[in-house]
Amino acid sequence: MDFFAINSLRENHAGWSLLRAQNAPLALSFFMKAFTGPNQRDIGRQQLVDHLDDVLFGLRDVYGEDKFPRPAGEYLDDWAAPEKAWLRKYYVPGQDEPHYDLTPAAEDVVRWVENLRGRDFVATQSRLTSIFAVLKALVQQSETDPEVRLAELQRQRDGIDAEIQRIRDGNIRVMTAPEALDHFQQLTTLAKDLLSDFREVEQNFRKLDRQVREQIATWDGTQGELLETIFANQQGISSSLQGRTFQGFWDYLMSPQLRTELQDLLQRATEIEALSGVEDLHAVTRLHQDWLPAVDQTQGTVRQLSEQMRRLLDDKVFLENKRIMRLVRSIESSALGSREAPPSGVFMEIAAQSVDVALPFERPLYEPSRKMMVDDDVLAADDSDVDAGALFSQFHVDKERLQANVDAVLAGAEQATLVEVTQAHPLQQGLAEIVAYYQLASESEWANIHDDVPQQLQWKLPDGSTREATIDQIIFVRPA
C-alpha cells in the first residue's frame, strides 16, 4: 500500500475513525463486554441500553457525572450512524425493536487493541506445525502424478507403522506442558477468529445483494431479461467464492459424525492434566455451540437476501400490471367519450369476413350411433378373508407430546436437529410421528427445514426390527 491508499483509509475507514474518536475507550470497552467477550450477536436495543447504562454508571461514579453526560441510547445511535458505522442497526422480521451487532471494522479494532496488552506466552511451535500441515496438504492434494501421491501415502503408512510399534514397545511420547499450552492457545485464538469472520461473511453477502438490487432498480430492459439477470445473480451469490466456502463450513459443521467427533475431542481436551491450570478451560467445550447461532444467522441473512430479490421482482410485476390497467382504462374512457359524437369519415377499417365454402361431397356419411350394453348383474364380493381389525387399529399422534420432547432437548441447547430430538426421545409411532414433527416445524417460526441437507433417521418396531428413513434436515431453535 502506498501513501495515498493509507491516507484514504485514515480518512474513510470506520475502524480508523474509531481509534481516533475521543470516546474510543468507552466504545471499545463496551464492545468487549457486550459482544466479543461473551461471543454475543444480535442484541436488542433495550438490553444493550441497560448494559451501557451499567457501564456509564460505574464510570460516572469514578470520574464524576460530567465525564459521559449523554444518555446510553444517544451513544448507541451515534455509534450506529452511517458516518461512523461501528455498530450495525437493523430490524429482525416480526419485531419492532431494533437490534445491534458489531461491524467487521469495529471488531478488527477490538481484536487489535486486545493484542496490545501483550501475551505472557506466545504460541510458536503450534503455529509452525500448522504451517507445515497446511503446506503439506496444499502440495500433496494438488499433485496430479499418481506415483508421487502413492509414494507419499506409502511414506505416511510406514511412519504410522513405526509409531504403532513404538507404542507396543512401551515408548509412548506424551505432549509436554509447554507444548500443550502452545496448542491450546492457538486453538482458542483460531476459534475467536472464526467467530469474527462470520460478521465479515454477512457483510460480503450484503454487498453482493446490494449490487443486484441496484441493477434491478435501474433496469430498463424486458421482463424476461430481468428474470434471467436475477436468477443469474442469485445463483452467483451461492456459487461465489465466499458462498462456496461458507457452505462447505456449514456442511462440515452439520455432519452428525463430525459434530460427535468434535464434541468428543473438546471434552477430552479439558481432561488433559497439563492444561489443568488454564482459566476457562471448560469454555472450549462450547465452541461449536457458539458457532451454530452465528452460522445460522448468516444462513438466515442469505435467505433474507433471496426473499428481498423476490419482493423487488414482485414490485416490478405489480407496476407493470398497473401500467397496463391504466392504458386499458384510458382506451375505455376515450371510447365512451366518442360514443355520442363519433368521428366523421373512416373511423376504423376491418377486413371483410370471408365466406366458408362447404362442398356436399365433403360431408361424412351417416353412421348410426352405438348402444352401450350395461351389465346390471350385481356380484357380491367374498369378504370372508378381509381383516376388519385394520379399521379399529387407528392411532392418534399427540403433537403436544412431540412439542414437549423438542422443548426438553432445547432446555440444554440453543438449537437441535430432529435427529438429536429423536435420539433423546425415540420414535414410538414411526413415520406418522415423523410427519407430525414436519408439521410442527412448518407451523413454528423457531424451526428451519433445509431440503438440500439430507439426514438419516432410525427407529425400532415393536418386533425389534429397525427402520431407516432419509429426511430433510429440521433444526429447532430455542425461542428468544
pLDDT (tens digit, 9 = 90+) per residue, 301-310?
666 666 666 6
- pLDDT < 50 positions in the chain: none
Cell numbers 441473512 correspond to 301
| pLDDT at residue 139, rounded to an integer | 75
The count of residues in the chain is: 480
Characterize the bridge pairing of strands 98-102 and 87-91.
Answer: antiparallel
Instruction: State the amino acid at position 223 in one-letter form.
Output: Q
Residue 391 in grid coordinates: 379399521
Round to whole Å and give the CA distance between 82 and 398.
51
Round to whole Å and give the CA distance between 31 and 102.
8
In which order are the strands placed within the sheet that holds 466-477? 415-417, 466-477, 447-460
Round to whole Å and give the CA distance between 286 and 185.
16
Cα distance from N-terminal residue to C-terminal residue, the chain: 45
Q: Which of 119, 270, 301, 86 is nearest to 204 (CA)?
A: 301
Q: Which of 450, 421, 451 is nearest to 437 (CA)?
A: 421
Contacts of 7 (CB under 8 A, 6+ apart): none
Q: Which of 24, 64, 453, 457 is nearest to 254 (CA)?
A: 453
- H helical segments located in 255-355: 256-269, 287-337
Q: Please indicate, yes or no, whether the overall pTM of this predicted structure exceeds 0.75.
A: no
The backbone torsions φ and ψ at residue 327, rounded to the nearest 5 degrees and listed phi first, read -65, -40
